[in-house]
Structure 1
């Protein structure tokens, strides 16, 4: 059984895939369950695009497809929420109890956008990486309304740097990531394995396998896999390879969610 737990439809400002197109592609690729996880990113720091999800219309459309594909494909109501320290109350109020699954992601840090490069302007490469991790740590210390951290080392995707080093090659980064992982494990939260990472590093998803190994060593068990797809051909990208590598690390289960509660499946 395969599950893709990070998919973006036309309800996200950066995707044009219809929900029907996602479902049909998922079935054709042999998936048994998916989570639609469109963006809601309040106070996103790029004025050229807005990631505010029309929750009522979005959930109504998912419910229609749940009935249409009943018996063929399980479709979970998910969301990718963009967290920042100053909007946590707003995020909490928006999420309520409407979703099966919540990805906590960090697309901005220190009120600056990662994608357009604003965050990197005053830092060298490692200063940027470490300050990003400090932002993630500050949030997970005080916020728990999510299920998994999305693409934990996404900072590697951005910035105009020649190399994209694994974050665990830096001692301070190791300390920060270890603290983040210990907190999420203690709070019964998990990590997402995001296969869009292979677009920047052919050997690793996001987070890297070295970070996933550390998570396993620290006792982490909650693990979802998602393609972060915005186009049909990206759905379930390199899942079988990724799962084989997760087995090598020592993971024996992947996680799905229903009404925010984890379900564990042997791999």
Structure 2
């Protein structure tokens, strides 16, 4: 099995790749399965851009693609859901029973945007990192309508700081991460390994290998792998290297999802 579980089509405002181009690129690369996971961020805190998807149109297009390519590749109905503490009910209404796979991601914290740097105003680097992690912890304790947490340490990719420190380098941050992971594991949720993370420092996906090692040590088992690709050339980027590193840590399986339920595949059978 060879799969990519974080891909963006033109339904995401920041992607120009239409579904046909995305799927045919995945087929050409030899993928057996993909999850298209376009952005839906309710009450996104940047007025210059909107990440909202008309669900009926989105699902209709996904179903057309599933039928058109059913003999070539398995396509799962996914969504990358921007989660905030004050929008749980709206998130639940949007998800309903319509998706195979939901990534819960954090593009905002404290009702402020990460990408445009609003969130960082007035905070030192570690103050910002720790406040972000506290937001994630509050959400995972209270919210359950998702499968995996997306790019857990994405905060490292933002902020105008001189370094991109691994969050595990700070004791308070590391302790909060451990609590986040314990809740995820207890609730039978997972985390994604997002290979777009290598753009930060060239060494780690998101989350970092140190966080992934802690997840393994705490008993975590549900892992998906995704490229977070917004263009054909990034699909399945560095999957071979990443899967080998995951095996070194001790992980034996990667997950795909069907009707929000995990299905496990041996990493050693992850054809690359």
Who is 1:133 aligned against?
Answer: 133
Who is 2:253 aligned against?
Answer: 253
Q: Distance in 1 between matches of 2:103 and 2:145?
A: 10
Who is 2:27 aligned against?
Answer: 27
Q: Distance in 2 between matches of 1:266 and 1:151?
A: 22
Q: Distance in 2 between matches of 1:71 and 1:147?
A: 27
Q: Distance in 2 between matches of 1:116 and 1:190?
A: 28
TM-score normalised by length of structure 1: 0.99
Q: Distance in 1 between matches of 2:109 and 2:63?
A: 34
Who is 2:87 aligned against?
Answer: 87
Who is 1:214 aligned against?
Answer: 214
Q: Could you tell me which runs of 5 or more consecutive residues in structure 1 were left unpaired when the two chains were aligned.
A: none
Tell me the CA shift for residue 152 of structure 1. 0.2
Q: Distance in 1 between matches of 2:9 and 2:155?
A: 23
Who is 2:270 aligned against?
Answer: none
Secondary structure of the residue that 1:70 maps to in structure 2? coil
Answer yes or no: is 1:36 the counterpart of 2:23: no
Q: For each residue in 1:193-251, what CA deviation from the matched residue of structure 2 results, as whole angstroms up to 9, or x when unmatched?
A: 00000111211000000000000000000000000011110100000000000000000
Answer yes or no: is 1:155 the counterpart of 2:155: yes
Q: Distance in 2 between matches of 1:5 and 1:54?
A: 21
Q: Could you tell me which runs of 5 or more consecutive residues in structure 2 were left unpaired when the two chains were aligned.
A: 268-272
Q: For each residue in 1:161-211, what CA deviation from the matched residue of structure 2 results, as whole angstroms up to 9, or x when unmatched?
A: 111010000000111000000000000000000000011121100000000
Q: For each residue in 1:93-148, what CA deviation from the matched residue of structure 2 results, as whole angstroms up to 9, or x when unmatched?
A: 11100000000000000000000000001100000000000000000111000000
Secondary structure of the residue that 1:85 maps to in structure 2? coil
Who is 2:171 aligned against?
Answer: 171
**Matches of residues 91-102 of structure 1 in structure 2 within 5 Å?**
91-102=91-102
Q: Distance in 2 between matches of 1:94 and 1:202?
A: 36
Answer yes or no: is 1:118 the counterpart of 2:124: no
Secondary structure of the residue that 2:57 maps to in structure 1? helix
Who is 1:201 aligned against?
Answer: 201
**Matches of residues 67-82 of structure 1 in structure 2 within 5 Å?**
67-82=67-82
Answer yes or no: is 1:264 the counterpart of 2:257: no
Who is 1:107 aligned against?
Answer: 107
Secondary structure of the residue that 1:200 maps to in structure 2? helix
Tell me the CA shift for residue 71 of structure 1. 2.2
Q: Distance in 1 between matches of 2:152 and 2:231?
A: 22
Q: CA RMSD in A?
A: 0.5
Who is 1:241 aligned against?
Answer: 241
- Count of residues in Structure 1 that have an aligned counterpart in Structure 2: 267
Q: Distance in 2 between matches of 1:91 and 1:240?
A: 34
